[in-house]
Amino acid sequence: MLKKIDTAQLDALLKIIRTINSHLNLDKVLESVMDVTTQAIQVEASSLVLIDEETNELLFHVTEGEKAKIIKTIRMKAGEGIVGWVIKEEKAVLVNDVSKDKRFYKAADKKSGFITKSILCVPMCTADKCLGAIEVINKMNNEDFDDADRIFLEAISSQAAIAIENAKLHERIVKNERLAAIGQTVSGLAHCIKNILNGIQGGSYILDLGIKKEKFSNIDKGWGIIKKNNEFMKELVLDMLSYSKEREPEYCTVDVNELVKSVCELMEQKGKEKNVSMQFLPEESLNEVEIDTKGVKRCVLNLISNAIDACEEVDGGSVDVSVQNTKGKIFRIHVADSGIGMSSETQAKLFQVFFSTKGSKGTGLGLAVSYKIIKEHGGNISVDSKKGKGTKFTITLPKKRKNNLLLEVSNGRE
Amino acid sequence: MAENKKILIIDDEPDAIAFSEAMLSELGEFDIETAINGLEGLQKAEMIKPDLIILDIQMPVMNGFQVFKELKKKEATDTIPVIMLTGIASTTGLRYDAKDMGITLGSEPDAYIDKPIEPEEFQKTVSSILGL
């Protein structure tokens, strides 16, 4: 008759289950499993052995006990030793005198100087394959291993197998997600570069034609296109770098009205070319805010440029830019246009990298970069748009650098 | 004297139109019309019934595939040959056509030309379609 599993062993099992369920780092989980096992069964040494799928060798992945470090360096062939047999046959083995067991791998004791007397080894299997085994060696006080120990170790082993499978699954998911993200980025980037290259190709062709036919207007046009695309490439690289790098804003104290006004002036020509009128409404009380001037300027420029583009196909299109103070710790910059507006689908993808509705003119990086810059300030960008009516973007920013304040702008607190 | 062949270029990017015009100018004399968006392109196609349409895929509001479908729906435009210009990148290194994008066009365009456009490929394709 089996002796009952004692409370200490049940407690150990519970501890192992909790560890497996609360940690994602597999090595830490397995170390903890073996640590708890060694103490619960009270043995001199223990090992968790895994099959190396590439070399088909047995690896001592986690080792406990006096000679743990040396044991860890040992490599055994598949099927070798008691542990090899257990993995191959997927059956537990309990040997209380290893000297009488032919399967025993003496070389391990010889290399480590450890004297193995008894071994309890159980396979570590999932529903469809054996991943390795757990073995415990030399029960304390020269006691023998019994079936209760085997059942306890089998329970632990099945939990360890689940932990390994979970970790492998997690690793696969992360890898697939990473590959998908890389794929998307590469294809988005390639698309932008192809359009820029097409511009350069076109510019050079027109330039060559101008030289061949001695037509100055062609030379001028071709050269202009090349220069423009050179600028696009520069902007693309800068946007990519801004997007990919985690950075802290470079704060300085500025008059936000001056900043927004200067952007409006920069955009005035573009507005005129596209018959879009532009108004700016300043807020006198906001003459000292702490922001990353370059970053915020880039965002405002981006929003105003988009707003003008959105008005291009609308008769009498207008863009209204304003700055708004609040009684709290934040202020807002609004950019509203009377353009074509956006569908809810477009709005949902708005800040996604490489998403653009501008055909070959858009890189799909502008808003993604703007969003990132504002988030780095601890601020937020929101959008309100109706198809056919127009769009209003609102940048909300802290008046002081975010380190000085505990602001939760994104939650609407002021 | 034979009339010049009529070519309609539909592209939202004026520089890209200039590039196509320059490449065509090396092939001979054509009557070239341009449109900067899909809607204008469809109207002009119906009106002038060109011998060839050069159609960019990525355009705002109405993309090239949508324009192509509309052209094929109408009796006045359904037989006009179409060359589509694509800048969409595929991670496999192959050109993305309608099928790759999961778009059913019904009938296929006469040719796809990848950006950056190789003038030689462009001119060869146009010559072959127009029988020059």
| Tens digits of residue pLDDT in A216-248 | 999 999 999 999 999 889 888 888 888 877 778
Residue A142 vs residue B1, higher pLDDT:
A142
Confidence band for A4, pLDDT divided at 50, 70 and 90:
low
CA distance B84 to B9: 10
Chain B positions touching chain A (beta carbons under 8 Å): 12-13, 15-16, 18-19, 22-23, 25-26, 37, 56, 58-61, 63, 87-91, 114-119
Strand order of the sheet with strand B52-56? Answer: B30-35, B5-10, B52-56, B82-86, B111-114
Total domain count, chain B:
1
A53-60: Cβ within 8 A, 24+ apart: A58/A83, A58/A84, A58/A87, A58/A132
- Residue B111 belongs to a domain: no
Token digits of residue A269: 């020509």
Query: Would the pLDDT of A24 be above 80?
Result: no
- Residue B54 belongs to a domain: yes
Confidence band for A407, pLDDT divided at 50, 70 and 90:
very low
CB < 8 Å to A187, chain B: 89-91
pLDDT computed for residue A300 by the predictor: 94
CA distance A104 to A84: 10
CATH number at residue B29: 3.40.50.2300
Residue B21 vs residue A54, higher pLDDT:
B21
- Residue B101 belongs to a domain: no
- Residue B62 belongs to a domain: yes
Selecting from B22, B25, B89 the residue whose C-beta is nearest the C-beta of A191 gives B89
Q: What is the ipTM of this complex?
A: 0.87
- Residue B123 belongs to a domain: no
Which residues fall within 8 angstroms of residue B119, CB to CB, at 6 or more apart? A201, A205, B23, B26
CA distance B61 to B41: 13
Omega of the bond prior to A249 within 30 degrees of 0, cis?
no
Q: How much of chain A, in percent, has pLDDT values that exceed 70? A: 94
Residue B61 vs residue A151, higher pLDDT:
A151
CB < 8 Å to B19, chain A: 198, 201-203, 205-206, 225
CA neighbor of A83 nearest in space, from A66, A95, A73: A95
Which amino acid makes up residue A73?
T
- Residue B72 belongs to a domain: yes
- Residue B20 belongs to a domain: yes
Average pLDDT along chain A: 87
Q: Rounded to 5 degrees, what angle do the CA atoms A192, A342, A330 make?
A: 90
DSSP letters of A165-223?
HHHHHHHHHHHHHHHHHHHHHHHHHHHHHHHHHHHHHHHHHHHHHHHHHT-HHHHHHHH
Q: Please, how many CA atoms are within 13 Å of residue A122, restricted to the half-sphere of its CB?
A: 22
Helices and strands, counts by H and E, chain A: 11, 13
CB B19 within 8 Å of CB B52: no
Determine the 3-state secondary structure of A115 from DSSP: coil
Give the global pTM.
0.63
Query: pLDDT per residue over A181-228, tens digit each?
Result: 777 777 778 888 888 999 999 999 999 999 999 999 999 999 999 999
pLDDT computed for residue A413 by the predictor: 44
The answer to whether A346 contacts chain B (CB < 8 Å) is no
pLDDT computed for residue A258 by the predictor: 93
Token digits of residue A268: 């005035």
pLDDT computed for residue B100 by the predictor: 58
Q: Which domain holds residue B40?
A: 1-86
- Residue B96 belongs to a domain: no
pLDDT computed for residue A1 by the predictor: 46
Confidence band for A343, pLDDT divided at 50, 70 and 90:
confident
State which residues of chain B have pLDDT below 70.
1, 88-104
Query: Would the pLDDT of A373 be above 70?
Result: yes
pLDDT computed for residue B3 by the predictor: 86
CB < 8 Å to B63, chain A: 359
pLDDT computed for residue A205 by the predictor: 97
